[in-house]
Amino acid sequence: MAKSGETALENAGETRPNHVLMDIRLSGTIDGIEAAGQIHARYGIPVIFLTACADTPFTQGVLQPCRQRGASRYHPYTGFVPVRMAQ
Q: What is the pLDDT of residues 54-75, one digit of tens each?
A: 566 666 666 677 667 666 666 6
Q: Which of 78, 10, 79, 3 lies closest to 38, judged by CA?
A: 10
β-pairing, 47-50 vs 20-23, is parallel
What pLDDT, on a 0 to 100 scale, did the predictor assign at position 22?
Answer: 87
3-state secondary structure (DSSP) of residue 40: helix
Whether this prediction's pTM lies above 0.85 is answered by no
What pLDDT, on a 0 to 100 scale, did the predictor assign at position 39?
Answer: 92
d(CA 15, CA 3): 16
Q: Which of 70, 18, 25 lies closest to 2, judged by CA?
A: 25
Strand ranges, E, within 42-84: 47-50
**Mean pLDDT, the chain, as a whole number?**
79
Bridge partners of 21, per DSSP, are 48
